[in-house]
Chains A and B, each alone.
Chain A
């Protein structure tokens, strides 16, 4: 039996406490009104002046014309395409950044001249328009900044919950494949998946709050998005309302979460019953429910990825997205199994786990990292290659506003594990696995960050206090729940038909 070390427990509580404080700070610091946003933007503009003394003259000129420029670009854009959050993000970025190219200046100048030459009434009208658009821009930035702590919370919450789901999927595969090496790790996996019920509840509450308009994470939830003539009307989203509507979205979420949790609970229960059984009935039951779970899982996982992740960009879709998300949390799950196993082993609790078991986990970490990269690249390259405007905006916003995290995560999730974990001897060294595992987990956090942030906060992103606090809060909760669950049952299944083979597993 495992005993939860009091130091680790304290550590988990500290993480949770710090996380809550940081999250509260994040929500407190988010701007409440348009006036706050205006102040923030003015401050940013002032800072910008300070840092570019040489270009000051030019920037000032640009500053005076900013509103006009915004009006120009935005109205133009509205005309050709119904403006949406994500589209507007892109346009606004261009408008805010002081651009030095002659074309832009010329456009502004021409515009100004036209205004001067036109009659007074017309000029007044234009100014009014510009003012309205400026207000619109402020409101847009306000939404982005208000989204920031929510998005940070959402990402950390879904990331940790999906990690335990990834472990559950791995566990089910091991059962169905009748793997001979992994039964000694089953109790570790069950401990990690014990986070799933807790994580699901927290996540579902977050979804309900989102559905009740506590935040603007999902633009398709905005009122009037499907009402013709409404200021929020969006023809593209309106066509998807049959699928993307809050009640259906919450019902689907409830079905998925309940289904996964039922498997988690029953498979653990059967595994414990098998310990004291006289026949293999519970083992066979577990085999059957695992097979059924995997079928359920692969369907629900796909839909889950559309509902909870892809729909933050409701104008964009990708067919392999579900697989991509799966690969991301599956490899993170396997990595967490490896890290928890190493920790438990180092505390002397896993007698029968040897370097061959670790080696196998490391091979999975390596292989699924490559699989993730394959899907990431397939998605990216197909869209980059065909360059269809309606789908390529997804990557343009990411490359322009998130250049370092976007490409940095490929280095962390692919280049690094490939170079480190390709060596057989390295896959048996605890410190290498721990190091590679931490990099992989951080990389996949950034991956989820990249899926959610660009659509919710746009170019206003930063990995600061709200993001880090949300992450450490859920890590603390994860550690607490997982290691508490680990104390509830013996760490070695007793009568599992493959347990002897697993104990003597040697590669």
Chain B
């Protein structure tokens, strides 16, 4: 039970991969990971992955950006030094708001976009000098790889994956 063995089932077609994923799920084998050279439409649904919450993060970041821009322009232009610049009314924020809208808009987009991208990098653990995690170099080119954990059912699993149209089934000891 305590072995770190995994099965690498390798496919060369995304349709076959999708079918294999569905069969594996139906047979209640736990899929650790699937590596594909490109996004396979519907794969996340077939694997039963939870939907991403990045959009919600982004919305909140946008609101933060909007608040920041509003606070900043209010502090600088209205509170701190309410100067008459070309007759623009600087008595209250709302009176001069139209001229702040471009900044408010850009700040909202800026915060929403950049913080969301950074969140994405952090959540998917991506950074410049990160060690690549390719189980097989071909998965970046034209092969698809499904990784399934082995729980003392090695023979059964090998037979199972050979029936799903895999071009190659390997058992690997993970460290």
Name A379-400 residues within 8 Å CB distance of B. Answer: 380-381, 384-385, 387
B16 CB-CB contact with A under 8 Å: no
**In the complex, residue of chain B having the shortest beta-carbon distance to the beta carbon of A386:** B86
The answer to the question of B98 belonging to the interface, with a C-beta cut-off of 8 Å to chain A, is: yes
Chain A contact surface mostly: helix
CB within 8 Å: A-B pair count: 12
Pair A385/B98 contact, Cβ less than 8 Å: yes
Interchain CB contact under 8 A, A380 and B59: no
Q: Is the CB of A381 within 8 A of B98?
A: yes
Contact of B99 among A381, A422, A424 (CB under 8 A): A381
Q: How many interface residues does chain B have, given as a range?
A: under 10
Residues of B with C-beta under 8 A to A387:
87
Contacts of B99 in A (CB 8 A): 381, 385
Contact of B101 among A381, A422, A424 (CB under 8 A): A381
In contact, B98 and A384 (Cβ under 8 angstroms): yes
Instruction: Tell me which residues across on chain B come within 8 A of A462, comparing CB atoms.
Output: none
Binary per-residue interface labels of chain B (89-122) against chain A in the complex, 1 for a CB within 8 Å, 0 otherwise: 0000000001101000000000000000000000
Residues of A within 8 A of B87 (CB): 387
CB distance from A461 to the nearest CB of B (A): 24
Chain B: CB-nearest residue to A419? B59
In the complex the two chains form, what is the Cα distance from A385 to B99 in whole Å? 7
Tell me the nearest residue of chain A to B98, going by C-beta.
A381
* A429 CA to B128 CA, complexed, in Å: 42
User: Which residues B25-64 have CB closer than 8 A to chain A?
Assistant: 55, 59
- Can you sample 12 A-B contacts with CB below 8 Å? A377-B98, A377-B101, A380-B98, A381-B98, A381-B99, A381-B101, A384-B98, A385-B98, A385-B99, A387-B87, A422-B59, A424-B55
Least Cβ–Cβ distance between A39 and chain B, in angstroms: 40
Complex interface: chain A residues within 8 A of B55 (CB):
424
Q: A380-B98, A385-B98 are in contact. List 10 more A-B contacts (CB 8 A).
A: A377-B98, A377-B101, A381-B98, A381-B99, A381-B101, A384-B98, A385-B99, A387-B87, A422-B59, A424-B55
Interface residues, chain A, with chain B CB atoms under 8 Å away? 377, 380-381, 384-385, 387, 422, 424
B67 to chain A, nearest CB (A): 16
Interface centre among B59, B87, B98, B99 (most CB of A within 10 A): B98
Q: Which residues of B contact A377 (CB under 8 A)?
A: 98, 101
For the complex of A and B, the 3 pairs showing the least CB-CB separation, nearest first, are: A381-B98, A384-B98, A385-B99
Query: What is the distance, in angstroms, from A415's C-beta to the closest C-beta of chain B?
Result: 12
CA of A422 to CA of B101, assembled, Å: 20
Tell me which residues from 114 to 169 in chain B have a Cβ below 8 Å from any Cβ of chain A.
none
Residues of A within 8 A of B98 (CB): 377, 380-381, 384-385
> Which residue of A is nearest B88, CB measured?
A385
Closest to A422 in B: B59
Min Cβ gap B113→A in Å is 15
Across the interface, name the chain B residue whose C-beta is closest to A374.
Answer: B105
Cα–Cα, bound, A287→B69 (Å): 47
Interface residues of B in 54-85 (CB under 8 A from A): 55, 59
Q: Which residue of B lies closest to A425 (CB)?
A: B51
Q: In the complex, which residues of chain B have a beta carbon less than 8 angstroms from the beta carbon of A384? A: 98
Assembly CA distance A422 to B62 (angstroms): 13
Q: Which residues of A contact B101 (CB under 8 A)?
A: 377, 381
Query: A385 to B88, alpha carbons, bound, how many Å?
Result: 8
Give the distance to chain B from A386, nearest Cβ to Cβ, in Å.
10
What's the minimum C-beta distance from A374 to chain B, rounded to whole angstroms?
A: 9
